Amino acid sequence: NGHTVTNGGRVLCAVALGNTVTEAQHLAYQLVHKLSWKNIYYRTDIGHRAIAREIK
């Protein structure tokens, strides 16, 4: 019927490749921002430790 139905939990995984972790994170979040549904929730801390190491 063209509708996505879930019963909670993790239902999607946004994955991206980049030349750096920072670039890959940015591209993955671009994918996430294309999603739209009621009560959407996604983590915003993925990759932060790797990015901190990358910046050093």
CA distance readout (Å), 7 to 4, 10, 11, 34, 48: 10, 9, 9, 21, 29
So what's the pLDDT on residue 34? 94
What is the DSSP secondary structure assignment for residue 33, as one 8-state letter? T
Where are the chain's structural domains?
21-55
What is the DSSP secondary structure assignment for residue 53, as one 8-state letter? H
- Digit-coded pLDDT (tens) for 2-40: 887 888 788 889 999 999 999 999 999 999 999 888 888
Spatial separation of the C-alpha atoms in residues 21 and 23, rounded to whole Å: 5
* pLDDT over threshold 90, residue 41: no
Spatial separation of the C-alpha atoms in residues 32 and 43, rounded to whole Å: 10
